[in-house]
A and B are shown apart, each in its own frame.
Chain A
């Protein structure tokens, strides 16, 4: 209901903006007709003034529409985060109250402890993601404390963590051998890069649909960039969303319809981290049900890139 109401408001303001522009253009033409024989200065002045006014109204309308869109995204983010925060709390509370209220066998008790621990982990992960997203949007490139990092062990470690987190078999996520067995080093913050890779892997698993099969590849592109690609065989991304999914709070329509849970922050964090390291993050997908390839490119250390000189 809220959404339709807001849609109505957008339509109204867009119509208003268009009407105003139309009115101004009409007035402008009228002005030219009235004055073109009489006073040149007045004519030129008027045209300039109208031009400024028209530009102002057009800009204003564009700004308004964008702002409304952003607001909408923020709204859905709040919904998602509310859910992601409250669900584990509800679960932990439920089990605590159960333990307090009823006699429970030792075996059940241990199971309840395990569930509560996993829920507190989930809670912490959400909180950290929100905090990291806040941090990512403020931090500057120069604020990062950089060290030399070998990408292969870092990615391998992240794969092990993700497998454990989602209780997956060893062959569910694989890392292909690096072509030529070269060592791929970048200058950066290990903690940030781990966050980015973990986010990519988490996404690949989360949007895999049924069976998880994720392939990671590391390589060099253009002699001076390290490329990590993470390919899943999952639900895919619509062409129009390939750029949008990196925006803060953005969640693809079909993902929200399927009620896959998430905050819309994961890929935003990935892109922020990649950019702060002088790199990029992109997505590729052949469409629905055809899987997705996520790619991050980072400058290779020691090849005269910007990071090597600093």
Chain B
């Protein structure tokens, strides 16, 4: 079995070199890009599957946010771990909103970076379709059904009467959080802290945008949400039956 390939997109030479040294010591193969435009072009035309991308935000050419957005628009769901020096919650949320799966602020802790990366790879491994004879014994499927819709947490997919959509890991995490607390009100602060690990008072508008996107996947009419309800001044509530 070949080792997973990790793309490191980082223009700071020293950090890139250090990351690559460590990733290779962990047994990964690596590919390095230092320019935003070149990185996106490479990722979109990679000859072999890339297991994960470690992506800096401030890059010459396209910035990290734009790269994630472009990848997701091209229906590429390679897990992306954002590295950002701008650690303000707004920046983190912008990254998550763009479709990144995880983020770390610089200066980061090497051990944490490696653990998070391993986490991303493991979650993707669950989600990957089983191949040939080496398919894992059928595990109980991690799915959730409601009102004619199915959220497949392992396939990162949501199937609704009006079509199906791919979810990013972050979206799946948020949905799972809401679904597990079905009927209960979940505050925006709780989402920030529990789901995305952002611990600061911040403008919560980014969450609203996120919810709007989830609604587009599951609601018949995103303007009149039945399942993902807004509780004014508090937060959100998931109602499986879709009743008020």
Q: Are A98 and B110 in contact (CB under 8 A)?
A: yes
Give the contacting residue for B106; candidates A87, A119, A259; CB below 8 A.
Answer: A87
Bound Cα distance A97, B25 (Å): 13
Interface members, chain A 3-27 (any B CB < 8 Å): none
When chains A and B are docked, how far (Å) is the Cα of A97 from the Cα of B87? 21
Cα-based distance from A281 to B85 in the complex (angstroms): 33
A91–B14 contact, CB under 8 A? yes
Count A-B pairs with CB separation below 8 Å.
68
Contact A86 B85 (CB under 8 A): yes
- Is B50 among interface residues, defined by CB-CB distance under 8 A? no
Interchain CA distance A5-B18 in the complex, whole Å: 39
Q: What residues on B are CB-neighbors of A89 within 8 Å?
A: 106-107
Cβ–Cβ < 8 Å partners of B110 in chain A: 93-94, 97-98, 101
- Nearest CB of A to B170, in Å: 18
Are B109 and A97 within 8 A (Cβ)? yes
Q: Give bound CA distance, A114 to B9, whole Å.
A: 23
Chain A interface, DSSP helix/strand/loop, else mixed: helix
A83/B60 contact (C-beta < 8 A), A91-B18, A98-B21, A115-B14 known? no
Give Cα distance in the complex from A119 to B18, angstroms.
13
Cross-chain contact B14 with A119 (CB below 8 angstroms):
yes
Q: Mark B105-127, 1 if CB is under 8 A from A, else 0.
A: 01111110000000000000000
A211 within 8 A of B: no
Having A82-B85, A91-B15, A98-B22, one finds 14 other A-B pairs with CB under 8 Å, namely A82-B86, A83-B85, A86-B85, A87-B85, A87-B106, A93-B110, A94-B15, A94-B18, A94-B19, A97-B110, A97-B111, A119-B14, A259-B58, A259-B59
Q: Show 6 residue pairs from A and B whose CB-CB distance is below 8 angstroms, ordered by the A residue.
A: A87-B12, A93-B107, A97-B109, A98-B110, A115-B14, A115-B17
Q: Which residues of A contact B (CB under 8 A)?
A: 1-2, 79, 82-83, 86-87, 89-91, 93-95, 97-98, 101-102, 108, 112, 115, 118-119, 258-260
